[in-house]
Amino acid sequence: MRHISLTPFGRQPNLAAHLAAQKLAETPAPCADAPDKWALLRDVTAARRALGLGDRTLVVLSALISFYPRTQLADDTALIVFPSNAALSERAHGMAESTLRRHLAALVAAGLVVRHDSPNGKRYALRGGHGGVQTAFGFDLRPLLLRAGEIAALAQAARDSAARCKSLRARVVLALRDAAALADWGQMSAQILDRLDALRRALRRRLDIDALSTLLEAAQTLRQELRNALISDPIAEESGGSDTQIERHQQNSEQDPIESESGMDKAAPPPQPRHNPPLPLELVTKAAPDILPYARGDIRSWRDLLIAAETVRPMMGINTDAWSEAQRVMQPEVAATALACMLQDATRIRNPGAYLRALSAKAAEGGFSPGPMVMALLRRETVCAA
């Protein structure tokens, strides 16, 4: 016979939450399959914030569930467990009894268990003539059985929210990394760097979906502003030409005599080249990802990019002389950057060898920088993504 006492033992107040939990415990159990107690505990753990539970409270709930003799929760008298405080403390990893009582009260207030107090406040069971439990006094786990569906829904919502937050945080990190690389290469003003630092500091906090969405929008806006500033930078245009000039140079590659191998053989010895500092490696691989499969692993240094460029260079029809000349005139890092951009734009370049020689000649005159090539590819990627 099931009996739920209407009042707690001793001087404990009879709260509305206690009465609501007792009413829930007397509700008929659903006809659905009996839930697995450990799977239910995992769902409670996932939904702990929605249920208002802390990690120590979950430890106590796990200890209580461990006293239930079966794996599946069934609607019978065994749902009332009656361990002593000493036994509970042992299974709660030695938790102090005062702390144990506080977390037991939290479980009752959350409506996950109900106290079934004996006349003297002790926890025990009365057994019949055949040894079976007739009446038990302790903690009733029936609310867990009745709320299993609700708890599962809360847990799934919490997992979906966590996955969404993880995805948003990853996108914010990538946007900020791109912005930092652009700001470092372009030597941006202190105001831009302050905005970047403020966004980085905001990301250190625990943020919900709305806050992360706002942060992502701000990070993407800053990245786009940096891109636009660098693409329209008059210094970059003077040193490397605009995106339009680069496109025109590619389209005329089959007609311009300067890009033929014979034409380059007749060219005068180039003057002393102007060395251009390389762009951030992360920016290059983001703009020209087609070179990544030719690396011997991840491209984490300029040496890795040079090795990949050396691997793909013969496949593009670029002979050793043209490649050596490009590395001598441009610097190896800049030559590898140019080759990666050429590979990314291979469908537009009819003769990569002649094209690379033309870029080397332009670099020898101090008129080539890989920046506009990289930024043009990045801008094309942004347009395609939109």
Tell me the pLDDT band of 52, cut-offs 50, 70 and 90: very high
Q: pLDDT tens across 69-107, in order?
A: 888 888 776 788 888 889 999 999 999 989 999 999 899
| Res. 245 pLDDT band, cuts 50 70 90 | very low
Per-residue model confidence (pLDDT) at position 339: 92
Per-residue pLDDT band at 271 (split at 50, 70, 90): very low
Mean pLDDT along residues 298-311 = 89
- Distances in Å between the Cα of 80 and the Cα atoms of 59, 115, 119 are 18, 9, 16
Place 31 in a pLDDT band, splitting at 50, 70 and 90. low
Rounded to an integer, the average pLDDT of 273-292 is 76
Tell me the domain boundaries of the chain.
Answer: 16-146, 162-231, 242-385
Residue 247 three-state SS:
helix
> What is the structure's pLDDT at 14?
52
Alpha helices in the chain (DSSP H): 16-25, 37-46, 48-51, 55-66, 85-91, 97-109, 142-146, 148-186, 190-203, 209-231, 234-240, 243-251, 261-265, 281-287, 302-312, 320-330, 332-344, 352-364, 371-385
Mean pLDDT of 370-376: 84
pLDDT of residue 60: 93
Domain covering 16-146 in this structure, CATH number = 1.10.10
Per-residue confidence (pLDDT) for residue 115, from 0 to 100: 84
What pLDDT, in 10s, does the model give residues 152-176? Answer: 999 999 999 999 999 999 999 998 8
